[in-house]
Structure 1
Amino acid sequence: MAYLPKASSPVPYPLLPLLSILLVLSSLSVAADVQLNDDVLGLIVFKSGLVDTSSYLSSWNEDNDSPCSWNFVTCDPRSGKVTEVSLDGLGLSGKIGRGLEKLQHLRALFLAGNAFTGSNVLSPSLSLPSSLQRLDLGRNRISGRIPSSLVNMSSVRFLDLSENAFSGPLPDDFFMSCSSLQFLSLAGNSLEGPIPSTLSGCSFLNGLNLSHNHFSGDPGFASGLWSLHRLRFLDLSDNQLSGLVPVGVSMIHNMKELYLQGNHLSGSLPNDLGLCPHLTTVDFSNNQLDGPIPESIQQLGSLVTLRASNNLLSGALPSWVGNLSSLENMDLSGNKLEGNLPSSIGNLRSLKFLALSDNVIDGSIPTALAYSSMLSKIRLRGNRLVGSIPGGLFDLGLEEIDFSHNGLVGSIPSGSSRLFETLQLMDLSRNDLTGDIPAELGLASNLRYLNLSWNGFQSAVPPEIGYLHNLTVLDLRNNELQGMIPRDMCSSGGRLAILQLDGNRLTGPIPPEIGNCASLYLLSLSHNNLTGPIPGSIARLSDLKILKLEFNELTGEVPQELGRLENLLAVNISYNSLIGRLPTSGIFPSLDRSALQGNLGICSPLLTEPCKMNVPKPLVLDPYAYGNPNGDHKHRERDPSFSSRRHRMFLSVSAIIAISAALLIASGVVVISLLNASARRRLAFVDAALESMCSSSSRSGNLSTGKLVLFDTKASPDGINNPQSLLNKASEIGEGAFGTVYKVPLGVPERIVAVKRLVTSNIVQFQEEFDREVRTLGKARHPNLILLKGYYWTPQLQLLVTEYAPNGSLHSRLHDREPSMPPLPWQTRFNIVLGTAKGLAHLHHSYRPPIVHYNLKPSNILLDENLNPKISDFGLARLLTKLDRHVMNNRFQCAPGYVAPELACQSLRVNEKCDVYGFGMMVMEVVTGRRAVEYGEDSVVILSDHVRVMLERGNVVECVDRGMGEYPEDEVLPVLKLGMVCTSQVPSSRPSMAEVVQILQVIKTPLPTRCETH
C-alpha cells in the first residue's frame, strides 16, 4: 500500500495518471494476497481527486478491508458492495475521477451543493458504472458543455445537473439512450438552442425540468413532447420559447404540474387544457397570450394553482370559476380582464391567494368574497372598482390587502381580532376613502407596510401606530389629516424606514422624539402647517437619505449637527421661515437654490433674500443699577436729564420694532403678490407664450420687440397668420429642469416642432448674450443631437424652437411604456447607448471650451422615428446666470442617482466628467431596465450600488432586463461593466467620451446565428 497517499492529504493532480495506471494493473492481479477490495481502491482514488478542506472524508482509509463503515457510504448488507455514495453539501471541490469506475454495484451518487467549479470537473474519459441509477450534481458551478460521459447512460433513472453553469446547446444524442430515464433536471444553467426532438424517446419520463435556461424555438418541438404519456411534471419556464402553445396537452393524460411562464408564447391558452384531469398546477404567467380563459378549465376539479398573470387575456372572469372547488391560488393580474367580479368567487372555500390586479375590472367587490374563509392574500390593485369595502373581508385572517388605485369610497371597515393577528400589508392608496384612520390598526402587531395615501381621511394620525414595532413603511400622504405628529411615532423603537406624512394639514412642531426612529431613511413632512424649529434629534437618524420639509412654517436655524448625516442624499427645506447659517458639512454646502428659497433669511450666496442671524442682543449693564463707587445712586434718579434719555431710548427701540414689523408685513404682502402673479402667469403660459411667438412673421428686427428668429433661412414662419388656431393645436409634452416643452405645428405645410419655454428667473437678461449663446448651440449639429432651429426672446419670455422627436424619451420607453408596446430589444438598446456616446463625444471634443450637458439622464435622451437617440437640453446651462452655473440642479429636480459625487463640493468646477457619470447611470438603466433609484415597500435600491454588489458576487447576469428577450452576453455584460467604470467615484478614473465610443465599438460583435424554430 505504500504507493497510495495517506487519507489525510489529497493526491496532487500530477499523480492522478499514475494512480489510474495502478488501478488498471491492480484489476489484472490474480494474487489473492495483493488483490485490493475494488470498492476501497475505487473510493480512495476518487477521494484523491477531491479537495476536502473540512476533512469530512477522514474516515476513508486505504488500510480498511471494506468501505462499508466509512462516513457517507452505504453498502448492500448481503453482498457488502458499495451501492450509494452521498456527499451532498460538504464543500468539496477538485475533480470527479475515474475511481468511480471500480464501483460496479453503485446505484446512487449524490454530489449536490458542493463547490465543484470549472469545465474540467468531470474527466472526459470517465465512464460511470452501468449500474448507476441516480446521479445528482446540482447546485455546483460546473461549466462548459455537458460532457459526453453523462450522455447515453441507459441505466440512469434520475439525473440532476441543475444550478450549474453548463452552456451551449444540448448534444443531439443527449436523449438517444434514455429508455430508463424517469426524471431529468437541467434547470438554472445557460443552455441554449432548441430542445432535441429525440426527447420523445424518453418514454418513461415523468419529470422534466428545463427552466431558467436560454432554450429557444417553438414549443411545438413537442410533437414528441406531448407523446410522453407518463409525464407528470413539466417545467419549461423562464426560457426564450416562442410561438403558439401547441394543441395536444391533453395527450399527457397524467400531467399534474405544468410550468410555461416567462417565455414569449403567443396565441390563446390551449382549449384542451381541461382534459388533463389530474392537473393541480398551471402557470402561463409572463407571456403574450391573449383571448378568453378556456371554458374547459372548469373541468379541472383537482386544480390548486392557476397563474396566467402579465399576459393579454381578455373578456370577463367567468362565473364558473366558482366550480374550481380545490383552487387555492389564482393569479390573473396584469391582463385585460373586464366586467364585474362574479359573486360565485365566494364558493372557493379553499382559496388562499387571489390576485386580479392591473386589469379593467369594474363594479363593486362582491360581499360573497368574504365566504372564502381561507383567504390570506387579496390583491385587486389598479382596476376600476367602486363602492365600499365589504366589512366581512376584515373578519378574515388576511395577511395582505391591496385595493389601491381604484375608486372605492366610504371608510375602512372595523377589523376583527383575527385580522389584527395576521395582517402584514395593507395598501388602500389612491381611492376616495374618507372618515377616520382606525386606531385599532395599532393592534396589528405584524403589520409591516401601511399605505393610505391619496385619499380623504380627515382624522389625526393615531398615536397607536407608533406601537407597531414591525412597521417599516407608513405612507399617509395627500389626505386631510389634522392635528399634531404623535410623539410616540417610534415609541416601540421599531423598524420604521419610510415615513411620509406630506400633503396634509398637520400643525404643531416636529416632535423631538422623531430621533427615536433609528431606522428611518426617508422622512417627508412637506406641505403641511408645521411650526417651530427643526429638531436637532434628527441628527441621530444615521441611515437617513432623504429629508423633505418644504412648504411648512418652520422657524429658527437649521441645526448644525445635521451636517453629520453622512448618508443624506437629498434635502429640501424651501418655503419655511428659517434663518441663519446652514450646516457647514454633509450635503448642505451643495444644496441648490430651489431647496433653500422662500425662507425668512437663510444665509447662502445662492439666495437674494437678506440673511438673518439668530444672534442674541448684547447685554448692557446699567452702571448705576447697583450703586456707584461714589454713592451717586440717588443723584442719578434725581437727574432730570436721565428720565428724558430713558424715554428717548424707549421710543427708539419701539420705533425700530415697529419699523421692522412694518417692513416684514410689507415684504410678506409683496412675496404673496408675486407668488399669485407667478401662478397666474403659469396658468396662462400657452396663451401668452405662443401668442407672442406667433404674432411675429419675420426673423429680423429688434430682439426686444419679441421677434421669432429661425436659423434656417428656408424655414420661414410666414405661415403663422392665425395665432388662435395655433394655440388650439399646441400641447404640453414634457417638463424638465430648464422649462416646459410643447408640441407645436409650425408653418405651411405644417411641420411639427418642439417649443421649450425657459425658466426666466435664472436666464441671462441681456439679449446680445442670449443671442450669442443660443447661436453657438445652434451650430452644434450631429445625428445624435436635437437640432436647435431658432428662438424667441423678450426680457420676460424666452423660447427655444427645436427638432421634434416623435417617439418620446428613453425614460418613457424604459419605465412608462404602454402594455401594448413591446420592450426595447437589445440591438436597439445598444444603438441608443452608442449613439448617445457619440453625441456626447461630439459636444466634449469638437468645441473649445467643451459643451457640457450638466443634466444627462434618460428623460433628456429623445428617440426619433427610427428609435435613434438624440440628446436634448445640451448646453442650456450656458444660458444661466453665472451664479447658477456652479450648483446646477437640486437633487429633487434632477433624477436621483444621476448626480456625480463631486457635485457635493461647491469648490469643484463642473466639467465633462459629470456627463460621463450621468452616461454611466443611463447605461445601467438601459441594461437592467430599472430606475436609478427605486423605492420599495421597505427599502430604497440605488441602482449603481445594486449592480456593484451583484458584480462582486459574480451574479451580474441577474441584473440584466429579461424583458428585452434574447441577448448576447459578450455584449451586454461588458456594456454593463463599462457603465460601472463611468460611474467611478473618482472623476479622473472615468474615461473620456471619445474613449467610451472606442470601447463600445470594440464590444460590438455580430449577433450569433439563431437556430431556426420548428
Structure 2
Amino acid sequence: MAEELNNARLSMATLHLLLLLFIRFVPAMAGDVDLLVSFKNSLPNPSLLSSWNPNQGPCSFQGVVCKGGHVSSLTLQGIALSPDFRSVSNLLSIQTLETLTLRSVNLTGDISAPTKCSDQLTGLDLSSNNLHGSVSDALSFATSCSSLQSLNLSSNSIGVYPLKKGAPLPPVFPLKSLDLSYNKMESTGDLQWVLSGLGILQTLDLSANKIAGSIPEIANCTSLEYFDLSSNLFAGTVPAGTFSNCFSLTYLNLSSNHFTGNAPPDLASCTRLNTLSLSYNNFSGEIPILSLTSMSNLKLLELGFNNFSGSLSGSISKLTSLEILDLSSNGFSGPIPASLCTNGASSLKELYLQNNYFTGSIPDSLSNCAELVSLDLSLNELSGSIPGTLGTLSNLKDLIMWQNYLDGDIPAELSSLKSLENLILDYNGLTGMMPDLGNCTGLNWISLASNRLTGSIPAWIGKLESLAILKLGNNSFTGPIPAELGDCKSLVWLDLNGNLLNGSIPPELAKQSGKVAVSLLTAKRYVYLRNDENSQCHGKGSLLEFGGIRSDDLTRMPSKRLCNFTRVYMGNTQYTFNNNGSMIFLDLSYNQLDGHIPKELGMLYYLMILNLGHNLLSGLIPSEMGRLAHVAVLDLSHNQLEGPIPASFSAMSLSEIDLSNNRLNGSIPELGSLATFPKYVYENNSGLCGFPLPPCNSNDDPSGNGSHQHSHHEASLAGSVALGLLFSLFCIFGLVIIAIESRKRQKKKEESNAAGDFYFDSRTQSATISNWKLSGTNALSINLATFDKPLQKLTFADLLEATNGFHNDSLIGSGGFGDVYKAQLKDGKIVAIKKLIHISGQGDREFTAEMETIGKIKHRNLVPLLGYCKVGEERLLVYDYMKYGSLEDVLHDQKKTGMKLSWPARRKIAVGAARGLAFLHHNCIPHIIHRDMKSSNVLLDEHLEARVSDFGMARMMSAMDTHLSVSTLAGTPGYVPPEYYQSFRCTTKGDVYSYGVVLLELLTGRQPTDSADFGEDNNLVGWVKQHSKLKITDVFDQEMLKEDPSLELELLEHLKIACACLDDRPSRRPTMLKVMAMFKEIQAGSTVDSKGSSCPPGASMDGGFMTGMTTLKEGKEEN
C-alpha cells in the first residue's frame, strides 16, 4: 500500500514537472514561430517559404534544424528571397539559435548592429549577397553577438573607410574566423585598425579584393592558422617581422599580387605551414631554402610566375611531405638536383619546372618519386636522353617535356605507364621509332612533332579510344597513313605534316564523324601558334600544352624565329559539339601522298582547318567537300588536282584558301567568298579564269570544235586574207595615233593630279561639281545596296590639304585597321578619313572589289563608306563624320567627351547597334560578318543614333594579308567569343556574342577588360557571372539607378538579352533578328521569355542565373 502511494506521488511530481516544462516550452516555440513568420512576411515574395506555416511547429520549416525542440540552426541558400538586412534581426532574436546561414539569397542593405542577438549564436554566414558597409561596421555587428566565433561576409560589397585620427583602439573581438573575400575593399583603411582587435583570430580571408598598399600588420595574431591575401593589389616588399610570430600558421597565400624583392625573410618561424603560395608576383633572388626546409609539414609550395633565379638546392628534398612543387616561369638555372627524389618515401605528386633555364640531363632518380602524377619540364635547356626508369612511375598521367634538347630514343619502358594521359615531347631531337604505347589506353594527347623520328606510323594508335590529339608532324615517318587511325573514337586533332608519308589518304579517317564525344581534354590550357609556311617551316601551326608558361616567353623558342609565329591563340580546350562531333584539325601537308582526295572528308562537319597541300594528289576536287560548313582554312595547293573548283565551295565560309599550283580549270565560282580572295591563291592553274584572275573568254568555242569548211573557193580565201591584212594595217596605224594622244593626255593628267584617283559617293556633295567617274569593277551582289549615283573623283592632294598633311592635330582615333582623321573638304563638308595600315601583297583589283562591296551597303545604323582612294601603297577610306565619336569614348571617358548617357539614350544606342548588325547578317547577300564588333566601332551621330562602323574591314584584311595578329582576325580581347580561340573561323553568332558584351557595357558602365575590377584572369562577362550569385542588379551602372530606381526591372529585361547573346554555345545564341524581336517585346511591356538555353551570365527576375532563352519567332526588321 505504501509502495502504491509512493508511486502515485512520483507520478504526480513527474506530471507537475512536465506541466512546468510545457508551460515554458510552448511560449518559446510560439516565439520562434512568430519570429520566423515575421521574417517570411517581410519578403517581397513570401510564397518562396511556403512550408513556413504558422499553424505548424518550426522544426518542420524549410531550412530549420531543432535541438531539444528548439530552433538551433537555420540554413537558406540559393533562393532569391531578397530580404532587407533589417529583417534579419528577427532571426537573430531567436534565443536558441546557434548558426544562421543566408547564403546567396539576394540579401541587401547596409550592415549594422542588430537590436538583439542570440547569446548562443556562434556562426553567421551571409556570403554571396549584396550587403554594403565597411569592415568596422561588420565588426561592430559582430560585437553585438557576444558568442559569435565565425563570420562569413564573402562575395558582398563590403569596403573600407579611412581611419580617423585619434580613433580609440577597438575592443577585443571574439571572432576566430573572418571571411571578407570577394568584396570591394580597395585600401587598408580601417582594416589595420580592426585587425589589431582580433587577437584570437584563426582564419582570415581577404582574397579577391582590390586592396592596394603594403601588407597589413598581423604580428599580434599569434593564433592565426589560415591567412589568404591572394588576388589583390598589394605591392612592395614584405616587411621583416611580418610573420615572425605566426607560429600557428598552416596556410599562407600571397599569390596574384605585385610584391617585389626577396621572399618573406621570416618564413622560418612558420614551421607548421602545409600550404605556401607566392606565385604570380614579382619576387626575385634565390628562394629561401633554409626557411623552407624548416617546414616539415609543407605539402604545397607554389612559387611560379615570379623572377626567382639561381640554382635549385638539393636541400629541397628535405621537404618529405611535399606533394606539389611549382617553380614554373622563373629564372632558375643549373641542373635539376638528383636528390630531389632521394628515396621511395617521397610524397611528391606534381612537379612543375617548365619555363626556366635548367640544364643537364633528366635525373634517373625522379623514378624514386613513386607517387608522381604530373611531370612538366618544358621550355628548358635539358639535354641527353629520357630516362627509361620513368616507366616505373605507375601513377604518372602527364609527361610533358617539349622544347628542350633531348635526344635518343623514346624509352620503350613508357609502355608500362598504363595511367598515362598526356605525352608531349615536341621540339626536341628525339630519334628512332615510336615505341609501342598500345597498353597506355588512357592516352588523350600524343605530341611528338618536330623531332627526328623515323619508321612507320603504328597501327596500334587506332586502339586508343580516348586519344583526342595526335601530333607527329615534322619528323621522318614513312609509309602509308594507317587506316586504323579512323578507329580513334575521340580524335579531333590530327597533324602528320612534314613527313615522308606515301600512298593515298585513307577514307577511314572520317569513320567516326558524327560520333565524337566531348573529349577528356576539356579545359586543358593550350596555345595554338599559326606560322608563316616557308621552306624550313611546314604546316598550318602548332598546338602546345601551355600550363605554367608566360606567353611572352614564346620568343625563347628557336622555332618562333624560324616559323615567324605571327598569330597566337590561347585559351582552354572546349568543343562546340556534344556527342555528334568530328575532327576539327587535319594537316597532311608536305608529304608524298598520291591518289584522289576521298569524298568522305566532306563528312567531317566540324573540321575547321584542312591542309592537304604540297603532296602528289590528283583527280577532281570532290564536290562533297563543300559540305564542310565550319572550315575556315583550306589548303590544297601544290598538288596535281584537275577539273573545276566545285560550285559547292560557294557555300563555305572561308577565311583562307590556297588552290595554287595545280591543274585546275574553268571559272572561279562567283557566288560566296571565292571571288574576294587575292589572285595568288589561284595562280599556276593554267585553266582557271574569272575574278580575281583574268576574265573567261566568253567567245571561245566551249566545244573545242576545230573543223573547217572546205567549200570556199581559193579566190574567196585569197581575197579574205588580203582584206584581213589591209584591215590589220589600218587598225595598227589607228592604235599608234590613239596611243600618242593618250600619252599626251596622261602626261597632262599627271601634272595636274600627282597622287592618284579618289572615288566619292556623289550624294554627299554639291551639285555644282561635275567631274564624275564610274568604277568598272563588279562587286559581290548586295541586296538593297547599290550606289544611287556615280562616284566623285577627287585628288589625293585634296585629302592632304583637308587633313593638314595627316597631321596629329587632325587625328581623332586609332584602331586595328589604321588611323582616323577629321577633314573638311573644300565645299565645307566634314568627313572622317581612315588611313589603313599597309597591306602587304594586296592588289588594286582586290582592294577595289572589297571597297565596291562595302560601299554599296547603306543603312541608317551603319556608317556609310563615301569613297576610297588608292595611291601607291596607301589606302584611304572616307566616311560620314560622326559628331559624338565612339560609344567607347562617350561611355568610358566622360572627361574627354563631357557627356553622360542616360538610360533612354543607352537603350536607343543598344537597339540601333542591333538593327545595324541585323542588317549585315540578314539583308546582305552574301551575309556580312563584322568580326570586330565592339563599343569603339559603334559611332554616334548628332542625334545619338548608333552607327556600326568598320564592317567588312576584318574580312578584307584577313583575305589580303597573312601577317596580321589574332586581334585583327578574330576581334578584340574582351569581345571575342570563346569558340574563336579554337575554331579560327568567324561567324554571325560570334558577332552576336560581341554585341552581348557591348550591351553589358551599356548596362554596367564598365569596360570589357578592366583588370582593376575583374582581376587578371577575368573580364566583364566573367565578372557578371560572379555577381549573378549575388543580387544581380549590383552589376548595373549605379549612377543610373540613383537617378531612377524604377529602372531596375527594365534593366533586368535587357540583361536577359545580353545573357542570351553571351551563351558559351553558339547554337544557343539568338540571331540579331531575334534580338530585335526581344527588344520589341520589352517595348510592348512584356517580359522576355527565358526558357530553353543556358546562358552564361543569365539573369532572371529573381536575381539568379537564367536557365535559358526560348526560340523566338523569326521576324524581319524594317530598315
Q: What TM-score do you get using the length of structure 1 for normalisation? A: 0.62
1:39 corresponding residue in structure 2 = 32
CA distance in 1 between partners of 2:618 and 2:816 (Å): 49
Shift of residue 401 of structure 1?
0.5
Quick check: 1:102 aligned with 2:81?
no
Paired residue for 2:294, among 275, 281, 284? 275
Give the 3-state SS of the residue equivalent to 2:248 in structure 1. coil
Shift of residue 536 of structure 1?
1.7
Paired residue for 1:405, among 414, 424, 427? 427
Alignment deviations for residues 138-162 of structure 1 (CA, whole Å, 9 cap, x no partner)? 4456677557235673654444444
Shift of residue 932 of structure 1?
11
Quick check: 1:530 aligned with 2:617?
yes
2:79 corresponding residue in structure 1 = 90
Shift of residue 181 of structure 1?
3.3
2:183 corresponding residue in structure 1 = 166
Listed as ranges, the gaps of 5+ residues in structure 2 are: 1-22, 157-181, 517-581, 712-746, 748-753, 755-793, 854-872, 874-915, 931-947, 958-963, 1025-1036, 1038-1057, 1062-1070, 1073-1119
Shift of residue 377 of structure 1?
0.5
Shift of residue 505 of structure 1?
1.6
Alignment deviations for residues 805-835 of structure 1 (CA, whole Å, 9 cap, x no partner)? xxxxxxxxxxxxxxxxxxxxxxxxxxx9977
1:384 corresponding residue in structure 2 = 405
Quick check: 1:242 aligned with 2:328?
no
Give the 3-state SS of the residue equivalent to 1:506 in structure 2. strand
2:442 corresponding residue in structure 1 = 422
In structure 2, relative to structure 1, the CA distance for the partners of 1:474 and 1:35 (3 Å cut) is: closer
In structure 2, relative to structure 1, the CA distance for the partners of 1:295 and 1:945 (3 Å cut) is: farther
In structure 2, relative to structure 1, the CA distance for the partners of 1:146 and 1:405 (3 Å cut) is: farther
1:340 corresponding residue in structure 2 = 361
1:309 corresponding residue in structure 2 = 328
Alignment deviations for residues 359-410 of structure 1 (CA, whole Å, 9 cap, x no partner)? 1112221222222222111110111112221111132121000101111111
Shift of residue 350 of structure 1?
0.9
Q: Is the 8 A contact 1:346 1:371 kept in 2?
A: yes
1:1004 corresponding residue in structure 2 = none
Shift of residue 357 of structure 1?
0.8
1:254 corresponding residue in structure 2 = 272
In structure 2, relative to structure 1, the CA distance for the partners of 1:913 and 1:445 (3 Å cut) is: closer
Q: Is the 8 A contact 2:187 2:211 kept in 1?
A: yes
In structure 2, relative to structure 1, the CA distance for the partners of 1:449 and 1:138 (3 Å cut) is: farther
Paired residue for 1:577, among 645, 659, 663? 663
In structure 2, relative to structure 1, the CA distance for the partners of 1:595 and 1:52 (3 Å cut) is: farther
CA distance in 1 between partners of 2:846 and 2:953 (Å): 24
Quick check: 1:456 aligned with 2:476?
yes
1:844-923 correspondence runs (5 A): 856=837, 873=838, 881=844, 884-887=847-850, 913=950
2:605 corresponding residue in structure 1 = 518
Greater CA deviation, 129-138 or 263-272? 129-138
Q: Is the 8 A contact 2:692 2:845 kept in 1?
A: no
In structure 2, relative to structure 1, the CA distance for the partners of 1:374 and 1:329 (3 Å cut) is: same
In structure 2, relative to structure 1, the CA distance for the partners of 1:774 and 1:52 (3 Å cut) is: closer
CA distance in 1 between partners of 2:512 and 2:139 (Å): 58
Greater relative contact order, per chain length (Cα 8 Å cut-off, separation 6+): 2
CA distance in 2 between partners of 1:445 and 1:435 (Å): 23
- Give the percent of matched residue pairs that are identical in Structure 1 and Structure 2: 26
Quick check: 1:61 aligned with 2:56?
no
Q: Is the 8 A contact 2:677 2:692 kept in 1?
A: no
Give the 3-state SS of the residue equivalent to 1:456 in structure 2. coil
Quick check: 1:554 aligned with 2:641?
yes
1:486 corresponding residue in structure 2 = 506
Quick check: 1:215 aligned with 2:233?
yes
1:441 corresponding residue in structure 2 = 461
CA distance in 2 between partners of 1:305 and 1:35 (Å): 53
Shift of residue 771 of structure 1?
12
Task: Report the number of matched residues.
Answer: 724
Paired residue for 2:682, among 596, 621, 627? 596
In structure 2, relative to structure 1, the CA distance for the partners of 1:922 and 1:547 (3 Å cut) is: closer
CA distance in 2 between partners of 1:473 and 1:615 (Å): 47
Q: Is the 8 A contact 2:610 2:635 kept in 1?
A: yes
1:206 corresponding residue in structure 2 = 225
Shift of residue 225 of structure 1?
3.6
1:754-833 correspondence runs (5 A): 780=805, 782=807
Q: Is the 8 A contact 1:446 1:468 kept in 2?
A: yes
CA distance in 2 between partners of 1:283 and 1:957 (Å): 32
CA distance in 2 between partners of 1:945 and 1:547 (Å): 25
Q: Is the 8 A contact 1:207 1:234 kept in 2?
A: yes
Q: Is the 8 A contact 1:194 1:215 kept in 2?
A: no
1:859 corresponding residue in structure 2 = none
Shift of residue 449 of structure 1?
0.9
1:587 corresponding residue in structure 2 = 673
Quick check: 1:842 aligned with 2:828?
no
In structure 2, relative to structure 1, the CA distance for the partners of 1:549 and 1:161 (3 Å cut) is: farther
Shift of residue 299 of structure 1?
0.9
Return the letter of the residue paired with 2:648.
E
Give the 3-state SS of the residue equivalent to 1:886 in structure 2. helix
Q: Is the 8 A contact 1:282 1:307 kept in 2?
A: yes
Alignment deviations for residues 56-78 of structure 1 (CA, whole Å, 9 cap, x no partner)? 522223344x522322112222x
1:149 corresponding residue in structure 2 = 138
1:605 corresponding residue in structure 2 = 691
In structure 2, relative to structure 1, the CA distance for the partners of 1:545 and 1:524 (3 Å cut) is: same
Shift of residue 126 of structure 1?
7.6
CA distance in 1 between partners of 2:477 and 2:977 (Å): 33
Alignment deviations for residues 201-243 of structure 1 (CA, whole Å, 9 cap, x no partner)? 433332233333x231246257344522222122232233333
Greater CA deviation, 359-368 or 134-143? 134-143
Quick check: 1:326 aligned with 2:347?
yes
Return the letter of the residue paired with 1:574.
S
Shift of residue 915 of structure 1?
9.6
Give the 3-state SS of the residue equivalent to 1:227 in structure 2. coil
1:694-773 correspondence runs (5 A): none
Q: Is the 8 A contact 1:924 1:944 kept in 2?
A: no
1:116 corresponding residue in structure 2 = 106
CA distance in 2 between partners of 1:967 and 1:514 (Å): 38
Alignment deviations for residues 458-506 of structure 1 (CA, whole Å, 9 cap, x no partner)? 2211111111121111111222221111111121223311111122221
1:659-670 correspondence runs (5 A): none
CA distance in 1 between partners of 2:286 and 2:1013 (Å): 20
Q: Is the 8 A contact 2:621 2:643 kept in 1?
A: yes
Give the 3-state SS of the residue equivalent to 2:462 in structure 1. helix
CA RMSD of aligned residues (A): 5.1
In structure 2, relative to structure 1, the CA distance for the partners of 1:924 and 1:89 (3 Å cut) is: farther
Return the letter of the residue paired with 1:541.
L
CA distance in 2 between partners of 1:833 and 1:252 (Å): 57
Q: Is the 8 A contact 2:816 2:968 kept in 1?
A: no
Q: Is the 8 A contact 1:395 1:416 kept in 2?
A: no
In structure 2, relative to structure 1, the CA distance for the partners of 1:32 and 1:453 (3 Å cut) is: closer
In structure 2, relative to structure 1, the CA distance for the partners of 1:615 and 1:569 (3 Å cut) is: farther
2:896 corresponding residue in structure 1 = none
1:462-481 correspondence runs (5 A): 462-481=482-501
2:865 corresponding residue in structure 1 = none
